[in-house]
A and B are shown apart, each in its own frame.
Chain A
Amino acid sequence: MLLFIALPIVSVLVQSVHTPHEAVLIETENCDPFGCTKSTAIDQDATQALRDEEPLGRFVGLEIYFDRGHLAVKEVAETWAKAEGIGNFFVNLNNLPFYRSMAFTLTFTFSVTPLMLVFGLMIALGVNALHQRLKGVLIFFSLLPMIVSPLIGSLVLFWMIDSRGIIGSALQWIFNDPALSLKASTGLTWVMLIVYGVWHAAPFSFIVFYAGLQTLPQDTLESAQIDGASRWQQVRYVIVPHLMPLITFVALMQLMDNFRVFEPIVGFNSEAHATSLSWFIFNDLGGETRLLSSAATSSVLTIIGVSILLAPVLVRTWRDFNAKS
């Protein structure tokens, strides 16, 4: 098990500091009666030999990290120097692929997570107030958006949102704009992806909160009612504090899950307007060229991002664990 955790990470690290060998060039001089011409050709054998000898490629250190496709230090410095004000700087920064995916990933993570928490809590409260018989059916249908593969779920929504699909047509009708297409604008694409994210994730928080509501101490709720607390006050001061540990748990889980958002981007075919870090790696890995070292570099950067997100969780778990023992 450790083998499979540690090795790929090491492998990614090693790959990220290497780059494929350049082809070995040979220069030949062809002389004929009218003079000599020089031609360069790729020495296939020598190149192959070099590649076989060191499959990783040559060592380049941190060069890839700083090139245009990743951190782009040079370009960032340039934009910073040229930019007029902060806003302009960020607009220009958006032209660099890595920062663009980063921006989307972070926006996605930090908008979907709170929205799905609120939404899940509302559904849980609603379902809890319903008749017992209906609950089973409701939970069944609520599970569906979460349990289907993200790619399939996003495709199902994508086809409805398509300008020829049902939701797309409905929106065109509502806004009275026959040319309206959610796919065409960057802002709307982001909104669409975020809506998908909430749709996909809300059932999880719903189920967890619903389970939490079952253990709600009834006498606390009753005494709040006797003291004259309104519905809203009951939710705010009794129910939410009771659910607080669950809320933190769900929030942390979702932060991690949303940070690695990937399939919806493939499903919604939204590469032109929104790319995430995971998609960025996928794009490097796929295709004809398989830019392994570039993908590895992005992976390392993503892992760093994940560990920054994860650090508070680890610290908390460590503290809890020490408190227990």
Chain B
Amino acid sequence: MSSTHVLARKRQSLGLKMLIWGFIGLWLIVAAFPFFWTLWGSFKMEADFFSKADWMNALTAPRTIAEHGRAFIGEAYNGAWVQEEFWRAVVNTALVCFFVVCTSLTIGTLGGYALSRSNYRYTFWLLITALIFRAMPPITLVAGYLLPFFEWNLWGHLATTVIVLVAINQPFTLWMLHSFFQKIPKELDESAKVDGCTQFQAFRHVIIPVMWPGVITTGLFSFLLAYNDFAVTSMLLSKENQTMVPKIASFLGTTQTEGNVMFAVSAVVSATAPLFILVLFFQRQIVSGLTQGAVKG
């Protein structure tokens, strides 16, 4: 009797295994395939990637081969980067991201450290502001920023956008770093102070060397916020100062001429590539950041 029982169990788990494999395989395709498809398509002509005749054209690319003699062409990239000056948007994005990350990390580490070492319990209010800011659609705040910015002639500059993004990001950064610093035992500062350090020296020589994991995680999330933002950058930046995401959106506005869609396709691929690399190297930190918020919140 027991042998049949075991057998039944084994058979069931085999079926279950198939089910799990099938489902996970499906998810893998759903999650990753669109990106590879777009990457593949970005080297084709529009007539092939968006073929009216037959979807297989996107794979075999008859029109591309007929016109250019080879199956992979860089026309779309050339058009987007050189003709439409996408590189300018890339430079702007790099600048915005760099300054947003630096500023919010500087304020975040100093502020987070101070908050975690002070005796008054700011925690609750910090959490509340972080929550409210997470809940608030950034566009509602932009509506508030616009009029003063017009009045003071601040509109359209990269620096203004950096400040706004830092402000939107700051409660979250502070919250993350605060909870991170709380995990560093207070005894560490205290022993440093016993050895004759001032509070600042304790921070400089004792805390900074051990804080990097938390800072990197927080920095990653600030970077993602600045990189992915569309609402703020598209509203606050003038045309020549646009970052990548609004630039891509502007490609779509003028898609009437042949090949312009392909500019957007290649620009999308160019904008996704850095994120791809980022996930490749910092997967562990991103995952820990996501789950840390869950455990704490």
Q: Is the CB of A285 within 8 A of B146?
A: yes
> Is B127's CB under 8 angstroms from A317's CB?
yes
Stretch at the interface among B50-58, B187-195, B198-206: B50-58
Q: Are B135 and A170 neighbours in the complex by a CB distance under 8 Å?
A: no
Do B147 and A15 touch (CB < 8 A)?
yes
| Segment touching B, from A33-41, A58-66, A94-102, A298-306 | A298-306
Number of A-B residue pairs at CB separation under 8 A: 233
B28 within 8 Å of A by Cβ? yes
Binds A, one of B71-79, B80-88, B208-216, B263-271: B263-271
Contact among A143, A199, A250, A321 for B30, CB-based, below 8 A: A199
Are the CB atoms of A266 and B230 closer together than 8 Å? yes
B228 at the interface (CB under 8 A from A): yes
Q: How far is the CB of B3 from the nearest CB of chain A, in Å?
A: 18
Task: State A109–B235 Cα separation when bound (angstroms).
Answer: 25
Query: Which B residues touch A325, using CB under 8 A?
Result: 121
* A259 and B32 alpha carbons, distance in the complex (Å): 26
CB–CB A302/B290 < 8 A: no
Shortest Cβ gap from A133 to chain B (Å): 14
Chain A interface secondary structure, helix, strand, loop or mixed?
Answer: helix
Cα-based distance from A149 to B151 in the complex (angstroms): 31
Chain-B contact segment, one of A21-29, A76-84, A151-159, A186-194: A151-159
Please tell me if the beta carbons of A306 and B268 are within 8 angstroms of each other in the complex. Answer: no
A151 touching B249, Cβ below 8 Å: yes
Q: Is B114 at the interface (CB under 8 A from chain A)?
A: no
Distance A50 CA – B264 CA, assembled complex (angstroms): 44
0/1 interface trace, chain A 246-271, chain B, CB 8 Å (1 if under): 10011001001101101100100100
Interface residues on B, range: 35 or more
Q: Does A226 contact B (CB under 8 A)?
A: no
Is B132 interfacial (CB 8 A cutoff)?
Answer: yes
A9 within 8 A of B: yes
Q: How far is the CA of A208 from the CA of B292 in the complex (A)?
A: 9
User: Are B55 and A262 touching (Cβ within 8 A)?
Assistant: no
B91 interface residue per 8 A CB criterion:
no
B280 in the interface, Cβ–Cβ < 8 Å?
yes
Given A4-B164, A285-B143: A143 touches B286 (CB 8 Å cut-off): yes
Does B6 count as interface, using CB distance less than 8 angstroms?
Answer: no
- A148, CB-defined interface residue at 8 Å: yes
Whether A266 and B249, one on each chain, are in contact in the complex, defined by CB atoms closer than 8 angstroms, is yes
Mask, B17-58, CB within 8 Å of A = 1, is 100100110011011101101100100000001111001001
B24 touches A127 (CB 8 A): yes
Query: In the bound complex, do residue B144 and residue A149 qualify as a contact, i.e. CB atoms below 8 Å apart?
Result: no
Of the stretches A67-75, A85-93, A161-169, A216-224, the one at the interface is A161-169
Evaluate contact between B31 and A142: CB separation under 8 angstroms.
yes
Give bound CA distance, A295 to B170, whole Å. Answer: 25
Interchain Cβ contacts under 8 Å between A and B, 19 examples = A5-B133, A12-B140, A55-B147, A138-B24, A139-B287, A140-B279, A140-B280, A144-B35, A165-B49, A166-B37, A211-B290, A253-B134, A278-B140, A278-B231, A281-B139, A285-B146, A286-B235, A309-B135, A313-B131
Beyond the given pairs A166-B55, A299-B140, 13 more chain A to chain B contacts, judged by CB atoms under 8 angstroms and listed by A's residue number, are: A130-B24, A138-B28, A141-B31, A149-B227, A151-B230, A164-B50, A165-B55, A211-B290, A278-B140, A285-B143, A285-B235, A292-B147, A296-B143
10 closest residue pairs by CB, A with B: A8-B144, A4-B167, A260-B137, A149-B228, A299-B140, A11-B144, A211-B291, A12-B144, A169-B55, A164-B50
